Structure 1
Amino acid sequence: MVTKKGDKYTENEELKLKFESVIATGVWIKTIGQIIETIGVSNLFLINEDPSSGDKKVVSGVWIETLGQFLQTIGVTKQVSAINEQITFKAQELEIIGVSLKSFALALEAIGGIEVLEEEKQTDILDFIP
């Protein structure tokens, strides 16, 4: 469809590209935050003298979430810069794999957190649950 500069279609396409770039920037910021969280959780786990099964699940979940976040970020970034439909489809698949991994990871973290909480209730020893 041929459009004239300034018509509604062209304006919407330009806005769409801007918003997609804003989304990609936000996803990168989340990735940086996720990496910082992973470093902190991993170091906290390493100094834990007696990590429980719940602690291990939480740490594993955080690492899986970080991998998923990274894949999502790469997928979103590739979508923004895609030059054809084939690249766009591959990028979308990668993004969806990342989101799926993050969903699994969050469930694992929640299960681990529940286990840690139950242990705390029994022992009256409080732990940090990230």
Structure 2
Amino acid sequence: MDYQENDIAHKIAYGVWIQAIGQFIEAIYVSKLFTVQTQKGKEDLTNEEKILFGVWIQAIGQLQEAVGVTQQLSASSEPEIRRAEELTVTGNWLQGVGSTLEAYGGTKEIIERRLGVSPPDYVIP
């Protein structure tokens, strides 16, 4: 990798770490909001639980991606590069699963508010 490519790769890593920090900030504050809602006696929080769980899965996935990208930059052998790439991709998958769960919980919440009924858990509109 030449200087320009190396410089760009490091900037990508910085961006991924910034995303990870932002994702953890979101997860912490969604957790605090959930706690406040629970303390105020909000009865049905099942959709919010899905959202909360999804946000934390995304945060863990983002952290895993950041670690993988950083390891790719410092890897000196092909096996190290492969392991770092696998870690990065696994983190991407976790982010996707978390995002799906968060979107699912949010969609159910919207449907319940608009229609006044809870759709079955196996139906995603």
Alignment TM-score > 0.5, same fold: yes
Q: Which amino acid aligns with 2:10?
A: S
- Quote how far apart the aligned CAs of 1:50 are: 2.6
Larger Rg: 1
2:45 alignment partner in structure 1 = 52
Deviation by residue 1:77-128 (Cα, 9 ceiling, x = unmatched): 00011111111110000000000010111111110000111122245xxxxx
Residue ranges of structure 2 left out of the alignment (5+ in a row)? 117-125
TM-score (norm 2): 0.85
Residue ranges of structure 1 left out of the alignment (5+ in a row)? 1-11, 124-130
Q: Find out whether 1:120 has 2:109 as its counterpart.
A: no
Deviation by residue 1:17-51 (Cα, 9 ceiling, x = unmatched): 01100000000100110110001100001111334
TM-score (norm 1): 0.81
1:3 alignment partner in structure 2 = none
Quick one: structure 1 residues 119 and 79, their matched pair in 2 at CA, closer, same or farther if it must change by over 3 Å? Answer: same
2:69 alignment partner in structure 1 = 76
Q: State which of 28, 33, 48 in structure 1 corresponds to 2:22.
A: 33
**Distance (whole Å) between structure 2 residues aligned to residue 20 and residue 50 of structure 1:** 48
Percent identity, please: 37
Deviation by residue 1:49-96 (Cα, 9 ceiling, x = unmatched): 334221111000001001100100000000011111111110000000
1:61 alignment partner in structure 2 = 54
Q: Which amino acid aligns with 1:74?
A: V
4+ aligned runs moved over 3 Å, structure 1: none
